[in-house]
Amino acid sequence: MAKVVPFKAVKPTRAIVGLVASRPYQSYTIDERESRMDYNPYSFLHIVNPGYKYDQVITGTERYKLVKNRYLEFKEDGVFNTDKSPAYYAYKIVNRHKQEFNGIIAATSAEDYEQDIIKKHEDTIEKREQTFKTYLKTVGFNAEPVLLTYPDNDVISAIIKETQKNHAEFEFTMTYRDTHYLWKIDKQEHIEKIRAEFEKIDTIYIADGHHRSASSYLLYKDEKAKNPNHTGQESYNFFMSYLIPESELVIQEFNRLIKDLNGLSKEEFLIKLDAMFRIENRGAVPYAPSKPHHFSMYLDGEFYSLYLRKANYKFKTALDKLDAHLLYQTILKPILGIEDLRNDSRIEYVHGRHEMITIKSSVDNGEFRVGFGMCPATVKQMKEIADEGLTMPPKSTYILPKLRSGITIYEY
């Protein structure tokens, strides 16, 4: 039984919401960040990069305290206002490829995360969990929702569609040409129906935002332990999420680039591959695989197709069927000697099938020796792996939609 509740969002004013909204801080280069802050005083980047004001790089707890100060200044200046009553928020994103995503921004339960009602499919790094927990505790807000997915639900979809017939509170287009729309759902009848429908759902899955979820859970544990009058209704019991139906979640693949052949010659490498794959040379024309357990490879100016010899590979778990894991188990680890996918400097990742051209150019210019392409994972695979209590390798999925910071804010 999932607990998904309305909350009082802090939001920018309609006139400047498009100026406030930003991509996640880490997704910008230094030059991009500085350019946006030079010319846009409303960007949320000013809040999360408070050292810009003093032309200083500030880190750790000192930075977190300044983040809180910048946030309070934005509120004092009227950039942000807090809704007067709890609400759900219907949210639509239409990207430049005309893909459309419709869902609800709401507060989801840290206890549900603890009880595995909200399930994960990726491992998290404890240091990052603790760092972001300290950040949340210090700044007192979260400005980027976790992306969750739930089984398609006709009642929730009908309420979203009915709400979207009204004039959107927000409608703005970002630099990357994705357009965002937001409507407040504050009719009590709708609120109760949405809450009741989510209570019928046994499991919700994290699509993107595993560290934010884990950090919010750690904050909940700390605050609950300190509070002798804990009721379960305090703001720290919840974290902000954007929930979309499974049918609208888009998963793209992350392809792999490797810097060397682990001391092997091209011929030796191909011979080792032959033990697990049927190999066909596809020449110079870019090739992408069309079905699971097939891979593309670019090596020495030529594309190859790799077809798994299934007699030599046993599918015992849902994870074994995941192509990112299969590639790791059959090539990256045993042949190329890459064991730590998260930290090994010899491997890099590029997302999307259109990036086969990027793989070709990266190998041709000598920066990498070989590149691999694969088919994307499916929502069904993601759920099966989570249900079995297993986790995907790093960079197994590139999930859409990509969310923006500063459009709705959840205060602790």
> Tens digits of per-residue pLDDT, 22-58?
998 888 888 888 899 999 999 999 999 998 887 888 8
User: HSE of 128 in the Cβ direction (CA atoms, 13 Å)?
Assistant: 9
124 and 265 in one domain?
Answer: no
Q: Phi first, then psi: what are they for 93, rounded to 5°? A: -125, 130
340 and 214 in one domain?
Answer: no
* Other C-beta atoms lying within 10 Å of the C-beta of residue 50: 22
pLDDT in the model for residue 354: 59
128 and 114 in one domain?
Answer: yes
| CA pseudo-torsion sign 7, 8, 12, 17 | positive
Give 353's pLDDT tier (boundaries 50, 70, 90).
low
Yes or no: say if 280 and 299 are a contact pair by the CB < 8 Å rule: no
186 and 75 in one domain?
Answer: yes
8 and 147 in one domain?
Answer: yes
Q: Phi first, then psi: what are they for 82, rounded to 5°? A: -100, 130
* The one-letter amino acid at 82: T
Its domain, for residue 125, covers 4-251+400-411
One DSSP character per residue, 65-124 reads: HHHHHHHHHHHHTTSEEE-SS-BEEEEEEE-TT--EEEEEEEEEEHHHHHTTSEE--B--
Region 344-354 average pLDDT: 84
> Tens digits of per-residue pLDDT, 256-268?
999 999 999 999 9
CA-wise closest residue to 14 among 89, 81, 71 = 81
Give 59's pLDDT tier (boundaries 50, 70, 90).
confident
139 and 38 in one domain?
Answer: yes
180 and 57 in one domain?
Answer: yes
101 and 16 in one domain?
Answer: yes
291 and 384 in one domain?
Answer: yes
205 and 85 in one domain?
Answer: yes
275 and 157 in one domain?
Answer: no
Tally of domains in the chain: 2
> Tens digits of per-residue pLDDT, 77-115?
999 999 999 999 999 999 988 999 999 999 999 999 999
CA-wise closest residue to 46 among 18, 17, 66 = 66
One DSSP character per residue, 117-150 reads: SEE--B---HHHHHHHHHHHHHH-EE-SPEEEEE
Yes or no: say if 377 and 397 are a contact pair by the CB < 8 Å rule: yes
- Angle, to 10 degrees, between the axis of helix 126-139 and the axis of helix 210-226? 60
The CATH number given to whatever domain includes residue 279 is: 3.30.1760
406 and 388 in one domain?
Answer: no
pLDDT in the model for residue 343: 85
| CA pseudo-torsion sign 223, 224, 226, 227 | positive
Largest interatomic CA distance in the chain: 69
> Tens digits of per-residue pLDDT, 214-230?
999 999 999 999 999 99
